[in-house]
Amino acid sequence: MFKTPTRTQDRARDNELNERTFLAWLRSAVSLIALGIGVAAFLDHQSTAARVALAIGALLVGLALVCVGFHRYRVMRAHIEGGEHYSPYTRAVAIAATCVAVLAAAATFIV
């Protein structure tokens, strides 16, 4: 009734999942970059240092997420193509979540 997937089908599925995960990293990065640009667009010449820091922080965290997501995509692709076992990328996820939480808290108090 049901056929067991072949290794080629497994690899294709794993690559699609890897690409979807990479797109999620990019989507998060674009959101943070848009937040940074939005905050910077509403800054005036007498803006507080906190607003400037929020804009720059959001931009930098967004750029870092692009780099981490791309690196993770390449590492996972190598693991998938090589048939190797991989381990979760918990450190990068924890750092990214912490940075986003700090920016969200800062945005709440500043804006």
110, 50 in Cβ contact below 8 A? yes
pLDDT at 45: 66
For the entire predicted model, the pTM comes to 0.71
Kindly state the average pLDDT of the residues 3-15: 72
Structure tokens at 29: 């990065």
pLDDT at 110: 67
What's the start-to-end Cα distance of the chain, in Å?
A: 59
Distance (Å, rounded) from C-alpha 64 to C-alpha 83? 28
pLDDT at 102: 86
Distance (Å, rounded) from C-alpha 32 to C-alpha 103? 9
pLDDT at 111: 60
pLDDT at 41: 81
Neighbour count for residue 62 (Cβ, 10 Å):
23
Distance (Å, rounded) from C-alpha 101 to C-alpha 104? 5
